[in-house]
Structure 1
Amino acid sequence: MKGRILLAVLTLGVGSLALAQDRQTRYLSQPLVRSIYTADPSAHVFAGKIYVYPSHDVPTDIPDDDLGSEYAMHDYRVLRMDRIGEPVTVGLVALDVKDVPWASKQMWAPDAAYRNGTYFLYFPARDKAKDKHGVGTFRIGVATSKNPMGPFKAEPQPIAGSYSMDPAVFTDSDGKTYMYFGGIWGGQLQRWATGSFDPNGSDTDLLQDDKPALSGKVVRMNADMKSFAEAPRDAVILDSDGTPVKGGAHDKRFFEASWMFKRGEKYYYTYSTGDTHFLNYAIGDTPYGPFTYRGHFLLPVQGWTTHHSIIATGGKWWLFYADTQLSNKNHLRNVKVTQVFFNPDGTIKLIDPFVK
């Protein structure tokens, strides 16, 4: 299995870099900021301005591995712009791992929300309990501020019942709020397959290609926006025949990077396939799903993978994503944005991150 994983990284991750070189690095979009490395952008419109909550990539000598050890981020900085295409302000440190009582390291992809005068920052980090690799179990925390740029003050404990990584928070038109989360391999979702953490579980996935793939999770939140109102459930992705997408379908199955948006009366559950480097989407009739797989909407970027968000602003839809244009290193990325277009039937037009 390990050899297959490494082969996939070599043939696909490096392949996307070679593809960029073949196209003379003619990128579809340019980095939003160049003063720091940013990735995993969660974009929102608050009070008429666009705020992007990215992870903050930092240089490290840690080698690349399947657990993502090279992604050693330790703080967050918020980006702000009035409109797409206008200058971007890089905020000061919004939250640092040293100010989170329960966390040890790796402040990975965050998200944010607003309710009743308070801004909420949701973030994954490893706790201080060690697993078989001597590193912590991922939990999801929450911090609050009266300013969308921060600084944020973290709650003393992670959200009860939370695990894995990549929180994405969606508030429906009826005011109910849901969190989508989870990521396999380094995100540890495969170790929660039974509902409790298995410290000796697989480092990759369920290793059952003919069984239903691991699902990302969805859970309704309480009105306090700091706690779960119920037990998390599977955000099931169905294939065209109505059966769950199989674990062996690496170009279809969920890997990480959930993002939910609503267009009309349809719920678009979007996610990354990880080791096959696509951004995919599936459509459902409720925020819980099930969601029917509809295809890719972003082809592989330069770098190992990407993590995204989609918002509507200025009468258009926009995709925020990241690649490695500035560094050519998987763990030092830069956030970008490009417009999203829909077909008359509601499907998303495929985006190529390189100019042909």
Structure 2
Amino acid sequence: MCLMLQACASTSEPAHAGNPLWDGWYADPEGLVFGDEYWIYPTFSAAYDDQVFFDAFSSPDLVTWTKHERILDTTIVAWADSAMWAPSAIQKDGRTFFFFAANDIQSDDAVGGIGVAVADDPGGPFSDYLGRPLIGTFHNGAQPIDQFVFQDGDRYYLLYGGWGHANIAQLNDDFTGLVPFEDGTTFREITPEDYVEGPVMFVRGGRYYFMWSEGGWTNETYRVAYGVADSPFGPFERVGTVLEQDPALATGAGHHSVIRVPGTDEWYAVYHRRPIPNLGRDHRVTAIDRMEFNADGTIRPIVMTTEGVAARPLR
């Protein structure tokens, strides 16, 4: 079932998405471009026991959004029962692969971690690809959550980690497992200063930008920082904070992702924030604003807005 979500605009001004992008409580959004559409895959923000499904949203222009309901849920993933979090998607060989966390495991004795689903269409329906977690135990102290798939040439990496630790691992060709590095290890820690969770990586100007969330996800300390290196393995020294609360607008801005318009140097940050007044621990909504760079390649502070961004068709 799909529901069209239209943004309103006057005839004298360009259409803007407006923030939040749509009704409902959603967090941890990953923004992507697949073909001539933008896609956002968020976490359904609710009590852990109610986080048993994922919705997705698509748009031709960042303004008009279509909701794709329950593209994956715990009735499809037999090993998952709650806390389905922070999806990350990528297309390969004509299919869409959807990485997700489930069950909020607290030790290696629990069942859960990072799983993979697959579909022929980015709007699903998805099926469980492995029938088990891809990563179901702790490595280098990193809780297996907050996965981010990163393509670098012909290699595909999985960045992930909560509990203040970030790992990078290399996916094999069909995404059924991981490929050890040259030194024989499979999980390499790349944790920067003040890292908490929510890793994101992209390349600009030949350099690797690593972004992450800091602070506490339930309060106003939540924010986004970044570092830059010449390799996806770092080391990433913290440059500074680029997205944080605006007490006049919203608090707890973080767990973001980045959209680059193909063939351009136009960038957007998709993130969640806590509206004021806030109605509870899980009251998080999805927003989008511009992300711009200085001449030296540093990222300018991302300004939270209520109007969001202007229409930007891909066609």
Partner of 2:71: 94
In the alignment, is residue 267 of structure 1 matched against residue 214 of structure 2?
no
Distance in 2, Cα, partners of 1:233 & 1:287: 11
Aligned to 2:126: 152
Q: How far did residue 160 of structure 1 move?
A: 4.5
Pair 264,131 (structure 1): closer, same or farther in 2 beyond 3 Å: closer
Please give the per-residue CA displacement for 1:311-351, whole angstroms capped at 9, x wherever unaligned: 21163100000113285323132111000010011000012
- Structural mapping, 1:155-166, within 5 Å: 155-160=130-135, 163=138, 164-166=144-146
Tell me what 1:330 maps to: 281
Per the TM alignment, residue 235 of structure 1 is displaced from its structure 2 partner at its CA by 1.1
Q: Tell me by how many angstroms 1:305 deviates.
A: 5.2
1:317 aligns with 2:262: no
- Residue 274 of structure 1 contacts residue 305 of structure 1 at CA under 8 Å; is this kept in 2? no
> Amino acid of the residue matched to residue 165 of structure 2?
S
More helix by share: 1
1:30 maps onto 2:30 in alignment = no
Q: Which has the higher strand share?
A: 2
Secondary structure, aligned partner of 2:154: coil
Paired position in structure 2 for 1:280: 225
- Cα deviation, residue 178, structure 1: 0.6
Q: Which 10-residue stretch deviates more, 162-171 or 326-335?
A: 326-335
Partner-residue secondary structure (3-state), 1:104: coil
Gaps of 5+ in 1: 1-27, 61-68, 185-213, 238-244, 246-252
Cα drift, residue 215 of structure 1: 3.1
Contact 1:39–1:335 (Cα < 8 Å) also in 2:
yes
The Cα shift of 1:306 comes to 2.4
Residue type matched to 1:175 in 2? D
Q: CA deviation at 1:288?
A: 1.5
Cα distance in 2, alignment partners of residues 158 and 90 from structure 1: 27
TM-score (norm 1): 0.70
Deviation at 1:303, TM superposition (A): 4.5
TM-superposed deviation, 1:300: 2.4
Q: Are residues 183 and 137 of structure 1, via their aligned partners in 2, closer, same or farther at CA, if it must alter by over 3 Å?
A: farther
Cα offsets for 1:224-276 (capped at 9, x unmatched):
12321121110142xxxxxxx3xxxxxxx100000111112111100000323
Distance 1:329 1:354 in 2: 22
Secondary structure of 1:351 counterpart? coil
Match of 1:307, SS? strand
Equivalences, count: 269
- Matched residues, percent identical? 29
Match of residue 306 from structure 1: 254
State the one-letter code of the partner of 1:266.
Answer: R
Match of 1:46 among 25, 28, 34: 34
Stretches of structure 2 that go unaligned for 5 or more consecutive residues are 1-16, 139-143, 181-185, 307-315
Describe the SS at the equivalent of 2:254.
coil
Structure 2 counterpart of 1:221, one-letter code:
L
| Divergent runs of 4+, >6 A | none
Read off the aligned partner of 2:176 and give its amino acid letter: K
Alpha-carbon contact 2:244-2:253 (below 8 Å) kept: no
| Alpha-carbon shift at residue 283 of structure 1 (Å) | 0.5
Distance 1:321 1:43 in 2: 9
Using a 3 Å threshold, how does the CA distance of structure 1 residues 162 and 180 change in structure 2: closer, same or farther?
Answer: farther
Residue type of the partner of 1:215?
H
What is residue 55 of structure 2 aligned with on the other side? Answer: 77
Kept in 2: contact 1:42–1:53 (CA 8 A): yes
Q: Which amino acid aligns with 2:134?
A: I
Structure 1 residues 352 and 274, CA gap change in structure 2 (3 angstroms): same
- Secondary structure of 1:308 counterpart: strand
